[in-house]
Amino acid sequence: MAEPLHLRDRTLQIDRATRADLPQLVALLADDEIGRDREGAQLAAYERAFERIDADPAHLLVAVRDDDSVVGTMQLTLLPGLSRSATTRLQIEGVRVAASQRGSGLGAAMFAWAADWGRAHGAGLAQLTTDKRRGDAHRFYERLGWSATHEGYKRGL
């Protein structure tokens, strides 16, 4: 399903991630001030998660490629639901842009692509949570038209 993803001054490819992308995807997840201490499982654990994501068409694990390098990722999930007059939600998790690409417009292009994908699959509302320590991310989302209307609660199980 690779498609062009147009940035201001060049074109990358946006694609469904494959199992072969996993080492690069995990490296992207770990290349982050908050994410750094959270990654470190064996590759086999990431492979099992990948298989579960890939097996359910409600999910799309995205890899943005610059030639052979994966420079961006996010996981999109369609969440059907009764609330808000039976609105399907587009849940966005695990967004990362490679440090080398920051400021390139890649993040904004990925979110525009995600919104199109959600609309094409019947979603009426997109949602994500972001750590309260990520002030730069908050400004980015607000510039893209997102609103922090909700508190994001988490609890270990």
Q: List interacting residues with its own copies (CB under 8 A).
A: 22, 25-26, 29, 35, 38-41, 45-46, 48-50, 52-53, 56, 58-59, 61, 75, 77, 79-86, 88-91, 93-94, 115, 118-119, 123-132, 138, 141, 144-157
Residues 97, 103, 108, 111: what is their CA dihedral angle, to the nearest 10 degrees?
10
Q: Which is nearer to its own copies, 7 or 58 (CB)?
A: 58
Q: Which is nearer to its own copies, 16 or 48 (CB)?
A: 48
Q: Which is nearer to its own copies, 11 or 34 (CB)?
A: 34
Tokens encoding 97: 């842009």
Contacting residues for 44 by C-beta, under 8 A, at least 6 apart: none
Minimal distance, residue 9 CB to its own copies, in Å: 26
Q: Which is nearer to its own copies, 9 or 83 (CB)?
A: 83
CA–CA separation, 87 vs 121, rounded Å? 12
Minimal distance, residue 22 CB to its own copies, in Å: 8
